């Protein structure tokens, strides 16, 4: 398609945010709102794993039933990622970011009112829809507005919201829930909806997306834009230019997601039931992993901007795999050294920092017209497939224990570090208005 941005005066625009030499206050506002949305996004998703035990006790649900609820939530993130990704490419990053936050906040609130298995399932599915949409929209927002030379570190900074969200879920679900009850934990989780007011008032729309919108308007006036927006998005996503990287990105996300959810879907239960930790102690140990995760995300961005996307992924995958093997298969050999176990738990969290690379990698692989669709679809379809992860672990646990199931995550971590080399190196790739 001909680049219309340069030749037509209607499309002339001041310097784009991603062309700025220095990070501006506008950049920090965008980062702050996307980051906060991701903190509470992941908090709402993970909070349920800490409330599995009290919920199942009150309703006499089996581990398998609770696995189905968690699995359905993850499956819903796939649907949410696709739907909100399409909406983001069509209506803009700013409004859709607000819609996703409202969706997961409302779903979590009503989870506290659920009085049966199926109502609980429905509420968690609603939460999953919003969770799936927020990540892709937020990462696209940052990827389009931050300069190429620092894109990796700032996309990774947004990802630090995940360990902080888990840490917050650990505090609320592990430390506060015994005093206020699991329902109240869901009720107070409506508070993140307040973020919508700040997003509406304090951050601008992605200027790269606005230029894309102007391009569509111009094409409509000259009769070149005749297909529906949704049809065009999917046709472009599955075109020869984009199909290869979409498939490669989907497989990469599946490997990394499998490593993550095989680790965390039953980690609190593993520490509580097999290592005989109290819920409070389990929460503190999860906080150790999330401290590692927070630092891992921050450092990943700098490594990815300095060494490249591929080496960063490989380094982190080995760190995560080593930590996982030691805290599951070799637990009995190091149990007499609590400090060493905690160090390996820290490594598990640190290794998950490779998730910090998806935002920059996908932003650099796909054009503006389908960037959010591609990012949201690949990332969340991979997460949706994790419907089977908690179920698989609960089945394996019947013979090998939860530790045996969780140890499989090490294999998928290593597969992630190997698969990244099927991609080209995209470090410092510039994004243009006419792409």
Q: Which is higher by pLDDT, 368 or 247?
A: 247
Q: What's the mean pLDDT in 93-119?
A: 91
Q: Mean pLDDT lowest for which of 185-199, 382-396, 420-434?
A: 382-396
**What does the pLDDT read at residue 115?**
82
**What does the pLDDT read at residue 12?**
47
Rounded-to-integer distance, Cα 202 and Cα 73, Å? 31
Rounded-to-integer distance, Cα 397 and Cα 63, Å? 11
For residue 211, pLDDT beyond 90: no
Q: Which is higher by pLDDT, 387 or 118?
A: 118
Please tell me which of 58-62, 363-367, 415-419 the model is most confident about, judged by mean pLDDT.
Answer: 415-419
* Residue 49, token pair as written in the block: 């794993």
* Residue 181, token pair as written in the block: 């009850």
Quick one: DSSP state of residue 123? H
Which tens digit of pLDDT belongs to each residue from 265-287?
A: 778 777 877 787 876 777 788 88
Q: Which is higher by pLDDT, 269 or 123?
A: 123
Q: Mean pLDDT lowest for which of 94-103, 256-265, 324-333?
A: 256-265
For residue 123, pLDDT beyond 90: yes
Q: Nearest-5° angle of CA 92, CA 154, CA 3?
A: 45
Using 50, 70 and 90 to split pLDDT, how confident is the model at 67? Answer: confident
**What does the pLDDT read at residue 388?**
76
Q: What's the mean pLDDT in 305-332?
A: 93
**What does the pLDDT read at residue 322?**
96
Rounded-to-integer distance, Cα 314 and Cα 318, Å? 7
Using 50, 70 and 90 to split pLDDT, how confident is the model at 404? Answer: confident
Measured over the CA atoms of residue 52, residue 134, residue 186 and residue 47, the dihedral's sign is: positive
Q: Where are the beta strands (DSSP E) in 48-205?
A: none
235: Cα within 13 Å, side-chain hemisphere? 6
**What does the pLDDT read at residue 334?**
86
Location of structure tokens 């390996």:
344
Q: What's the mean pLDDT in 358-373?
A: 85
Rounded-to-integer distance, Cα 106 and Cα 78, Å? 18
**What does the pLDDT read at residue 64?**
76
**What does the pLDDT read at residue 287?**
82
**What does the pLDDT read at residue 62?**
80
Q: What's the mean pLDDT in 57-86?
A: 84
Percent of the chain with pLDDT over 90: 34
Nearest to 172 by CA among 293, 289, 279: 279
Using 50, 70 and 90 to split pLDDT, how confident is the model at 403? Answer: confident
**What does the pLDDT read at residue 103?**
94
Nearest to 159 by CA among 335, 364, 297: 297
Full DSSP string of 350-386: HHGGGGGGHHHHHHHHS-TTTHHHHHHHHHHHHHHGG
380 within 8 A of 80, measured Cβ to Cβ: yes
pTM above 0.85, yes or no: no
* Residue 377, token pair as written in the block: 């679809």
For residue 234, pLDDT beyond 60: yes
**What does the pLDDT read at residue 286?**
80
**What does the pLDDT read at residue 2?**
34
**What does the pLDDT read at residue 325?**
93
Q: What's the mean pLDDT in 406-428?
A: 92
Location of structure tokens 């450092």:
299
**What does the pLDDT read at residue 42?**
85
Residues with Cβ < 8 Å from 80, sequence gap 6 or more?
100, 103, 128, 129, 130, 131, 132, 133, 380
**What does the pLDDT read at residue 11?**
42
Using 50, 70 and 90 to split pLDDT, how confident is the model at 232? Answer: low
For residue 324, pLDDT beyond 50: yes
Please tell me which of 18-22, 42-46, 262-266, 316-320 the model is most confident about, judged by mean pLDDT.
Answer: 316-320
Q: What's the mean pLDDT in 140-167?
A: 89
* Residue 104, token pair as written in the block: 């997961």
CATH class of 16-422: mainly alpha
Using 50, 70 and 90 to split pLDDT, how confident is the model at 106? Answer: very high
Q: What's the mean pLDDT in 330-341?
A: 87
Measured over the CA atoms of residue 98, residue 168, residue 136 and residue 68, the dihedral's sign is: negative
17 within 8 A of 433, measured Cβ to Cβ: no
**What does the pLDDT read at residue 255?**
94
* Residue 47, token pair as written in the block: 């909070």
For residue 9, pLDDT beyond 50: no
**Average confidence score pLDDT of the chain:** 84
Using 50, 70 and 90 to split pLDDT, how confident is the model at 184? Answer: very high
For residue 296, pLDDT beyond 90: yes
**What does the pLDDT read at residue 247?**
92
Query: Where exactly are the structural domains of the chain?
Result: 16-422
Measured over the CA atoms of residue 133, residue 135, residue 138 and residue 140, the dihedral's sign is: negative
**What does the pLDDT read at residue 1?**
35
Q: How many other C-beta atoms can be found within 10 angstroms of the C-beta atom of residue 276? A: 8
291 within 8 A of 353, measured Cβ to Cβ: no
Nearest to 153 by CA among 307, 371, 39: 307
């Amino acid at each position: 398609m001909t680049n219309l941005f340069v030749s037509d005066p209607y499309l002339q625009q001041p310097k784009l945010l991603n062309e700025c030499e220095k990070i501006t206050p506008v950049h920090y506002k965008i980062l702050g709102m996307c980051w906060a949305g991701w903190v509470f996004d992941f908090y709402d998703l993970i909070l349920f794993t800490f409330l599995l035990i009290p919920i199942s006790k009150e309703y006499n649900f089996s581990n398998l039933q609770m696995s189905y609820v968690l699995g359905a939530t993850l499956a819903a993130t796939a649907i949410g990622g696709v739907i909100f990704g399409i909406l983001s490419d069509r209506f803009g990053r700013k409004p859709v970011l607000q819609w996703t936050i409202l969706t997961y906040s409302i779903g979590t609130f009503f989870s506290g009112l659920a009085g049966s298995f199926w109502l609980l399932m429905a509420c968690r599915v609603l939460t999953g829809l919003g969770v799936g949409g927020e990540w892709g929209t937020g990462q696209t927002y940052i990827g389009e507005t931050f300069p190429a030379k620092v894109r990796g570190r700032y996309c990774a900074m947004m990802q630090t919201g995940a360990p902080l969200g888990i840490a917050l879920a650990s505090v609320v679900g592990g430390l506060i829930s015994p005093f206020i009850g699991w329902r109240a934990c869901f009720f107070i989780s409506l508070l993140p909806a307040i973020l919508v007011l700040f997003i509406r008032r304090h951050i601008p729309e992605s200027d790269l997306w606005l230029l894309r919108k102007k391009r569509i308007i111009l094409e409509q006036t000259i009769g070149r834009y005749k297909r529906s927006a949704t049809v065009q998005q999917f046709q472009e996503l599955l075109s020869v230019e984009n199909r290869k990287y979409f498939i490669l990105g989907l497989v990469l996300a599946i490997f990394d997601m499998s490593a993550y959810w095989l680790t965390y879907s039953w980690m609190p239960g593993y520490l509580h039931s097999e290592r005989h930790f109290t819920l409070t102690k389990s929460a503190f140990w999860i906080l150790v992993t999330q401290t590692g995760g927070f630092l891992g995300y921050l450092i990943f961005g700098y490594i990815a901007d300095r060494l490249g996307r591929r080496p960063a992924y490989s380094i982190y995958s080995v760190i995560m795999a080593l930590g996982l093997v030691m805290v599951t298969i070799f637990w009995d050999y190091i149990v007499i050294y609590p400090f060493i176990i905690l160090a390996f738990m820290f490594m598990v969290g640190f290794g998950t920092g490779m998730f910090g690379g998806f935002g920059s990698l996908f932003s650099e692989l796909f054009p503006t017209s389908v960037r959010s669709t591609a990012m949201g679809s690949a990332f969340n379809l991979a997460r949706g497939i994790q419907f089977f992860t908690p179920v698989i672990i609960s089945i394996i646990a019947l013979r090998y224990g939860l530790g045996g199931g969780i140890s499989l995550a090490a294999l998928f971590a290593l597969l992630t570090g190997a698969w990244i080399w099927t991609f080209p190196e995209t470090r410092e790739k510039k994004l243009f208005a006419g792409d």
